[in-house]
Structure 1
Amino acid sequence: MKKFAPTLLAGLLAVIGTANAEKLSVAASAVPHAEILQFVKPALAKQGVELDIKVFTDYVQPNVQVAEKRLDANFFQHKPYLSEFNKNKGTNLVTVVPVHVEPFGAYSLKHKKATDLPDGATVVIPNDPSNAGRSLVLLQQNGLIKLKDPSNILSTTKDIVENKKHLSIKELEAATLPRVLNQVDLALINTNYALQAKLTPTKDALFIEGANSPYANLLVARPDNKDAPAVKKLAAVLNSADVKAFIEKQYKGAVVSAF
């Protein structure tokens, strides 16, 4: 019996440790956010935090559920989107730390470069204000349109002052854009959805934002829990050298660390 005692003791300690672990529920987009969270899960477990990752396919419910205290935090959005959401929905969600940047890209199955777009080409962009504005700025930067204020990240199609190719710009829900890629001339797609659709941004995009994009993806929480020990532990591991190395190896430039 004596030789089994250490094994039994270790097992009991593991059970007790799991029972005493602080649970932290985090909403995330599947790629790359949930993948990054899955990578840090063992490191958090060693610090007494049990990470519960909830994957969402939309950009609304992750914020709603954190605001309503059904979840503790989320990891899927950039600052312009968060600011616009807070303003429109009357929420008060806050940034904990920036984690990575997903350079935004333009894709086509019909054309090899932007100058190949025909007159009257159909271009689809995300329908949320921050990513719609981001798309228009990128179109401006690549000579396809001119905006009233090229620095306005919340520009709308009404702010287009020159459209020489008479592009037909339509707004669709961000998650649907990869699915209509074969039906349009050009689609501006968030990198998380591009990766899910097996697109390689650095290879497949006709043009793409640089790594200095201001749209860092954030860990977001509420004012009442942003300084909670478990949230701080998650923030620390998300900004660790191990995560930076994981991002570089896993995404090969399609995602770049913001720290």
Structure 2
Amino acid sequence: MLNNVRVVLVNTSHPGNIGGAARAMKNMGLNQLVLVDPVRFPDPDANSRASGADDVLSNARIVATLDEAIVDCTLVMGTSARDRRIPWPVVDPREAADMVLDQAALPEAQIALVFGREDSGLTTDELQRCQYHVHIPSMPDFSSLNLAAAVQVLAYELRMQGLQREGAPTKMRKVETTAVFNEIPATAGELEQFYQHLEQVLVEIGFHDPQKPRQLLPRLRRLYGRVHLNRMEMNILRGILTETQKAIGVKAAGERRP
């Protein structure tokens, strides 16, 4: 769906920013880069900052004017950190992503996200060629973002909303090597054995007095119950209890060493 979304960089002065923007695009699944009258490109600094997104750079299209970059676009959004004299529809990055994805699903749609110069952004004339202005709500007294960072913000919002629309997960779970076993929840019986072992050790180290329990064990049950222990975690805790008993000279079965 994002194949018809292009990032347009206008009159970029530093090639490193072009490379950084390319990297941000590839991170989030965008591949169309259009450069309007770049000051230096191609350039080794661009490839260095791209960090593996060289294909985005090599396929970048270079044009002389913004009009050439957006001539076939059905939706054009320009980024701006400054207030303008003429009121214009303004959206934040999340709203912009929603609108872009709606448009991208239409037949023959082409969308442009336009970013201006590092020092001055887009001119008023350039912004007037955009149907919407995108404002990233940064701090008012320090609102200007690095070019690649601004591209990253919009590309990230597109990626997140795209995944959500597809019903795909937006976060990756860490999987341990023995994941199948590790993720099996501890049974009620295993938990009960753990609680008995825990109580035994707490008594042996003098932390718990069965004659004056003071709700210690119910509170510990509630604590561990909130965690939803799996079998690997249970084995770790039981191992800690066993090693504690060894350290104080008590066998795991609770018998005193001779």
Q: TM-score range by the shorter chain?
A: under 0.3
Structure of larger gyration radius:
2
Richer in strand (by share): 1
Higher relative contact order (Cα pairs below 8 Å, separated by 6+ residues): 1
The alignment's TM-score, normalised by the length of structure 1, stands at 0.23
